[in-house]
């Protein structure tokens, strides 16, 4: 149980509120299980690394003796949202592409210069593609390298894992914010429709999370639409009218990626003016929420408003799921023990043993089976009408948002970790 040499870790893809907890897990794992080896961090993922930008994380997160963990810095890092090392969206070239050879050769040169033989990459779908390619290349050229992907994404759309680190905190933010919006929309007596647009282009997991309150005795939106089901404007208007007969403050959750039967995004196609251009003559489009706002205004005529939850869904470090942060940390730490055990070409995964009570273990799966795939919300988690999720879905999601963390607050604002 020993690493071959030094290790490097990178963060890639969109930020989440838990991606630094996973980084913290990798650092803690290295300090605990491979104290004689150094851990480097890529600045801005594989892209910054190719430019030679890296940082000695072992030095940064230990006290002057170079061994004792700097608990204060590690705690701050755990609760800091967004990727502290910086991120990138770079995809490595295809292995069959001769023009890409230079990139790979440069990587090997950089690895060799720091005696790096373990590579951890924290990211989503595209990042697992990088992991798979790098693994294949190092094997082809005979460079000894352990390559391990560590999942993160608020989209919860990776195959091979019960759920993804980062999703639980985003889900808690969405479910909590939806309940607050529902309270806000219940204070007046005039009929009003509020449409909340939630992140998720292809998979509706995060939008589904808006309904968790239903199985925990709390508030949930009246209607929920996911991209997994084709969207029908007629059925939608019927649903909205029915909801308005039940109470005046109707709240609806929609995924940004909802599409009509023919595949057209709802955000792009609802229009009465002809062209899909905006006020300013741009072809950039209104989102699904805004499109439905105008459609309801036209068809029903009541007060309508749309709310796009936007960036805070993935970076609200003030509202973290304790279960998510705990798992995110452990997934990072387990990546180090897996590397020390000689496992490679894998992505760390979470396996659920039981939902009530919630029990999950950290495991792993071959990364080649996972990269470039999307895990959708299954049929059985959406109701027959396609206008809400099932209780079974809510029960699956509920354990992932349990528990609050106690991050540091300084003078009324969060105290974040930042590299110099």
Q: Which of residues 189-228 bind a second copy (CB under 8 A)?
A: 189, 194, 212-213, 216-219
C-alpha 11/C-alpha 20 separation (Å) is 9
Q: Does 172 bind a second copy (CB under 8 A)?
A: yes
Q: Is 188 in the site for a second copy (CB under 8 A)?
A: yes
Residue 52: count other Cβ atoms within 10 Å of its Cβ: 11
Q: Is 87 in the site for a second copy (CB under 8 A)?
A: yes
**Binding string, residues 46-85; x marks residues near a second copy by CB under 8 A:** -xx-------------------------------xxxx--
Residues 145, 111: contact at Cβ < 8 Å?
Answer: yes
Asked whether position 175 contacts a second copy by CB under 8 A, the answer is yes
| Position among 270, 336, 377, 389 found at the interface with a second copy (CB under 8 A) | 270
Residues 56, 126, 129, 155: which is the catalytic one?
155
Q: How far is CA 65 from CA 59, 60, 134, in A?
A: 9, 11, 34
Q: Which of residues 325-364 bind a second copy (CB under 8 A)?
A: none
Shortest Å distance, C-beta 119 to a second copy: 20
Apex 19 CA angle, 112 and 82, nearest 5: 105
- Any contact of residue 297 with a second copy (CB under 8 A)? yes
Q: Least separation, in Å, of the C-beta of 375 and a second copy?
A: 22
Cα–Cα distance, 364 to 347 (Å, whole number): 5
Rounded CA separation 178/184 (Å): 10
Closest C-alpha among 334, 339, 368, 336 to residue 350: 334
Tokens of 83: 């990727």
Catalytic site includes residue 155: yes
| Cα 214 from Cα 394, distance rounded (Å) | 7
For the bound state, the minimum distance from the C-beta of residue 126 to a second copy, rounded and expressed in Å, comes to: 14
- Cα atoms in the 13 Å half-sphere on the side-chain side of 172: 25
Residue 165 lies near a second copy (rule: CB under 8 A)? no
* Stretch touching a second copy by CB under 8 A, among 104-112, 154-162, 177-185, 200-208: 177-185
Q: Decide: is 391 part of the binding site for a second copy (CB under 8 A).
A: no
Catalytic residues: 155
């Amino acid at each position: 149980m020993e690493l071959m040499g030094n290790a490097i870790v990178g963060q890639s893809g969109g930020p989440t509120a838990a991606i630094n907890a996973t980084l913290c897990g990798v650092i803690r794992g290295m300090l605990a299980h491979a104290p004689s080896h150094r851990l480097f961090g890529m600045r801005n993922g594989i892209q910054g690394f190719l430019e030679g930008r890296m940082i000695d994380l072992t030095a940064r997160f230990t006290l002057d003796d170079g061994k004792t963990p700097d608990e204060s810095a590690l705690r701050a890092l755990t609760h800091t949202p967004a990727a502290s090392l910086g991120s990138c969206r770079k995809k490595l070239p295809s292995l069959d592409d001769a023009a890409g050879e230079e990139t790979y050769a440069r990587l090997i040169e950089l690895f060799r210069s720091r005696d790096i033989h373990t590579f951890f990459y924290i990211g989503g779908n595209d990042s697992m593609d990088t992991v798979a390619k790098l693994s294949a290349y190092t094997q082809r050229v005979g460079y000894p390298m352990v390559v391990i992907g560590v999942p993160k994404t608020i989209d919860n759309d990776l195959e091979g894992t019960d759920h993804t680190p980062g999703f639980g905190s985003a889900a808690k933010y969405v479910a909590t914010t939806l309940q607050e919006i529902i309270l806000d929309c219940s204070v007046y007596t005039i009929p009003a429709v509020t449409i909340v647009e939630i992140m998720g282009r292809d998979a509706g997991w995060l939008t589904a999370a808006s309904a968790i309150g239903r199985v925990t005795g709390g508030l949930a939106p009246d209607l929920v639409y996911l991209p997994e089901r084709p969207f029908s404007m007629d059925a939608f208007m019927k649903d909205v009218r029915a909801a308005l007969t039940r109470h005046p403050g109707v709240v609806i959750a929609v995924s940004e990626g909802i599409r009509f039967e023919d595949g057209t995004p709802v955000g792009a196609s609802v229009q009465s003016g002809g062209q899909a251009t905006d006020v300013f003559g741009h072809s950039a489009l209104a989102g699904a929420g805004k499109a439905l706002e105008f459609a309801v205004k036209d068809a029903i005529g009541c007060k309508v408003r749309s709310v796009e939850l936007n960036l805070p869904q993935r970076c609200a470090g003030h509202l973290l799921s304790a279960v998510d942060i705990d798992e995110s940390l452990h997934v990072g730490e387990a990546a180090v023990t897996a590397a020390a055990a000689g496992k490679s070409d894998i992505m760390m995964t979470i396996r659920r043993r039981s939902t009530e009570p919630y029990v999950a273990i950290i495991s792993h799966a071959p990364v080649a089976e996972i990269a470039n795939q999307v895990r959708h919300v299954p049929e059985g988690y959406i109701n027959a009408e396609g206008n809400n999720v099932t209780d079974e879905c809510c029960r699956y999601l509920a354990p992932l948002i349990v528990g609050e963390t106690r991050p540091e607050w300084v003078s009324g604002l969060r105290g974040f970790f930042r590299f110099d």
